[in-house]
Amino acid sequence: GAGVSQSPRYKVAKRGQDVALRCDPISGHVSLFWYQQALGQGPEFLTYFQNEAQLDKSGLPSDRFFAERPEGSVSTLKIQRTQQEDSAVYLCASSGRLDLSYEQYFGPGTRLTVT
């Protein structure tokens, strides 16, 4: 029961396909974050959950991106009608304390390639 896990680790999608990326946070962690990391860049914030509530989705690049965490644990990031510019590593992070929500523990990421 170690760290944050993500699946799949690699995903190749044809342009226009829908994809779903899964994140299993550290057990008991209240906060969950999704980031997008382009090659050679720092992660960019996508969205933030506190338990099952999505408190901030300001970083989602378009309405093709949708995230959910229905039971306050596992989260899914869904991308509809994928485009080439969606190719990136998608990172999930979790944090155990609301007052320390900046102490985030990251999963290994899902590398999405859109062809």
Residues within the interface to other proteins (CB under 8 A):
4, 31, 33, 40-45, 48, 56, 91, 93, 95, 101-109
Shortest Å, Cβ 65 to other proteins: 17
Cα Dmax for the chain: 41
Shortest Å, Cβ 68 to other proteins: 18
Shortest Å, Cβ 46 to other proteins: 10
CA-based radius of gyration for the chain? 13
Nearer to other proteins, 19 or 43 (CB): 43
Cβ-contact 27, 97 below 8 angstroms: no
Nearer to other proteins, 13 or 30 (CB): 30
Nearer to other proteins, 79 or 91 (CB): 91
Nearer to other proteins, 28 or 102 (CB): 102
3-state secondary structure of 100: helix
Handedness of CA 36, 38, 42, 44 (dihedral sign): negative
Cβ-contact 17, 38 below 8 angstroms: no
